[in-house]
Amino acid sequence: MKKIAAFDIGSNAIRMAIASVNEEEGLTLISRVRKPVRLGSEAFNTGHFSEHTINEFVRVFKDFKKEIIQQDVEFYRAVATSAYRNADNAHVLGERVLEETGIFIEAIDGVREAALIRKALQTQVDLSFKNYLLFDIGGGSAELTYLERGMAKGSISLPMGTVRLLEIGKMSEEEGASAELAYRTYLSEMGPAIQKFLSEVYPGSRPLRIVGTGGNFKRLSRLRKRVLGKKNIRYVLPDEVAIIREALEETPYLKRIKKFGLRPDRADVIIPAIHIMEKVMGYIPVKKIITPDIGLIHGLIYELYEEVHLSKEHCVN
């Protein structure tokens, strides 16, 4: 039995997943670890990682390396997204990690990120019979992909992630204005690009199903139960989104953590995340938002599994 590992270096956190690979059971996820290292705070504010952040990042990867050695992991891959791409000294961080752990970090763009997420989704959700808008919200960017009976007809990556908006909101509050106004102003600048993309890929008027990926969508579905008392947390209806946002906004940050069962690094980004969702939904009719527990880390694990499995077949032949 082989073991593989994937590392997703996002703007709000770093994730590691370890899975086993065998002929009988295929791919089995063994463990998932999340470390709340928020690279986006510096990347989107100053465009530069501080020495403290670099040291903390390297410490996390040293711990990850110990874990994959203990688990006897044979193959692994690490990818980094928007915050890493945005920092002018990301290469320093990458070189430190490579030097001290042997783990190479690959920076990927939004198009590849969306493709990896789609790969993971297709293993759990049958996307071949209906049309869907895949919507992933990260800390630095959001990816939209329109699927027509399982076939991708268009994809776009936009710089409207949760941590990016959070930093914009903080700067606005320091200047005496509201964070909410800053969110709406920034997102209005994204409006023409969103509208153009959606009008090109989906000119129809029938309500469309959104498949939302990433931690904020999953948390939104759980808030559906806490705020609205709904039992089904596999989806959220469009008219429920604003109600949930208003409940969060009228609850102070520290009380929000306790009242809604949120992690500290989720309790602040969930509000800008919902603003992003509402902005996109303002341009298309939406039937429901489906919220599977899927993200970039899963797509990376599946891609690595396919490569390991394929290389084994080549060796046999």
Does 87 score more than 90 pLDDT? yes
Q: Give the mean model confidence (pLDDT) for residues 227-243.
A: 95
Q: How long, in residues, is the chain?
A: 317
Q: How far apart are the first and last CA of the chain?
A: 19
User: For the chain, how are helix, strand and coil distributed in percent, rounded to 5?
Assistant: 50, 20, 25
Q: Give the mean model confidence (pLDDT) for residues 183-202.
A: 96
| Domains of the chain and any CATH numbers | 2-108+297-316 (3.30.420.40), 125-293 (3.30.420.150)
Cα separation, 213 vs 72, whole angstroms = 30
Among 22-26, 98-102, 176-180, 201-205, the range scoring the smallest mean pLDDT is 22-26
Does 303 score more than 70 pLDDT? yes
Cα separation, 93 vs 37, whole angstroms = 13
pLDDT number for residue 311:
61
Q: Give the mean model confidence (pLDDT) for residues 210-225.
A: 94
pLDDT number for residue 313:
47
Cα separation, 84 vs 98, whole angstroms = 15
Mode of pairing for the β-strands spanning 208-213 and 131-137: parallel
User: Is 276 in contact with 165 (CB distance < 8 Å)?
Assistant: yes
pLDDT digits (tens, 9 = 90+) for 103-147: 999 999 988 998 999 888 888 888 888 899 999 999 999 999 999
